[in-house]
A = this chain, B = another copy of it.
Amino acid sequence: MPLNADQAHYLFSVMRLAVGARVALFNGRDGEWTAEVVEAAKKAGSLRCLGQAAPQLNPPDLWLIFAPIKKERTDFIVEKAAELGCAKILPVQTEFTNASRIRQDRLQAHALEAAEQCLGTYVPEVSDLQALQALLKGWDPARRILWGDESLVGPAQTLAGLTPGPWAILVGPEGGFSEAERAQLRGLDYVTPVSLGPRILRADTAACAAITLWQSALGDWM
C-alpha cells in the first residue's frame, strides 16, 4: 500500500525507519496489522501487510455528551473518552457554556492520538459543536441518557439496575446546567440523573468517573 506525504514524512524523516522496518497499522475497522516498509523516500513510500496482530476491539454503544470547557480540559475529556471506551463524542453548547465553537479537527486528531497511544484499534468520532436543545430535539429515545446531575451530591447510585442497550453520558460545564435545562432534563423519560459521589467534581473528572461507572456496570469492563 502506498503512503501519502504526511505518513512518509513521519515514518522516514521523523521516525527514521528504513526498508524492512516493521510498523503497526490500524484503520478503525479491521484490528491491528503488522506491515513492513518496502519503499522509503522523503515524501513517498509503501508498506506491505504481513498479517493481523490483534482483532478489532470496538467499544460498547456508549456516547459521551459534554460541554466544552477550557482548551486543556476539553482535550483531556476527548482523550479520556477514547481511552475508557466511548463510541462517539458529542460536544454541546449549554446555557453556561462559554465556548461558541470548537476545533473539531483538533479534537478528532486528539481522539486518534489517544487510540494510537493506548494501542487501541477504534477511534471515536467527534462531532461538531451543537446546541443541547438541538441535540435533544432530534434525540432517539431508544438511547438512554445517564446525566451526571451535580445537584445530586451524595452517595452515588448503583448503576447495576439499569437496562443494557445504547446509552449516552451527559456531563455539564463548570457551573453546571441552568434551572431551565435541569427542569427539561428531569422531564425526559429517557434521562436518568445520577450522583457521582459526595464531592463536587470538575467536568472532566465527572466525565471520567461516569464513563468508568457505566463501563463497569453495563459496558465491556464487566
Q: Known contacts A84-B209, A209-B212, A212-B212; is A200 also within 8 Å of B118 by CB?
A: yes
Residues 171-206 of chain A, each 1 if its beta carbon lies under 8 Å from chain B, else 0: 000000000000000000000000011111110010
Instruction: Among A118, A200, A221, find the residue whose CB has the most chain B CB atoms closer than 10 A.
Output: A221
* A 151-185 binary contact with B (CB < 8 Å = 1; else 0): 00001101000000000000000000000000000
Q: Say yes or no: is A105 at the interface (Cβ < 8 Å to chain B).
A: no
Q: Chain A contact residues (Cβ within 8 angstroms of B): what range? A: 20 to 34
Q: Are B208 and A205 in contact (CB under 8 A)?
A: yes
Whether the Cβ atoms of A199 and B155 lie closer than 8 Å is no
Q: Is the CB of A83 within 8 A of B216?
A: no
Question: Known: A158-B216, A205-B208, A216-B213. Contact between A200 and B119, CB under 8 A?
Answer: yes
Q: Is A45 an interface residue (CB 8 A)?
A: no
Cα distance A126–B64 when bound, in Å?
Answer: 32
Chain A at the B interface: SS class: loop
Contact B208 A85 (CB under 8 A): no
Please, which residue of chain B has its CB at the minimum distance from the CB of A200? B118
Return the contact of A198 from the options B57, B199, B201, B213 (Cβ within 8 A): B57
Q: Given A156-B216, A156-B222, A208-B208, decide whether A118 and B83 contact each other with a Cβ distance below 8 A.
A: no
6 extra A-B contacts, CB within 8 A, seeds A84-B201, A118-B201, A208-B209: A57-B198, A80-B208, A119-B200, A155-B221, A196-B221, A209-B212
Taking beta carbons and an 8 Å cutoff, which residues of A are in contact with B? 57, 76, 80, 83-85, 117-120, 155-156, 158, 196-202, 205, 208-209, 212-213, 215-216, 219-222
14 interchain pairs, CB-CB under 8 A: A57-B198, A76-B76, A80-B205, A80-B208, A84-B209, A85-B198, A118-B200, A118-B202, A120-B199, A156-B221, A158-B216, A158-B222, A197-B219, A208-B208
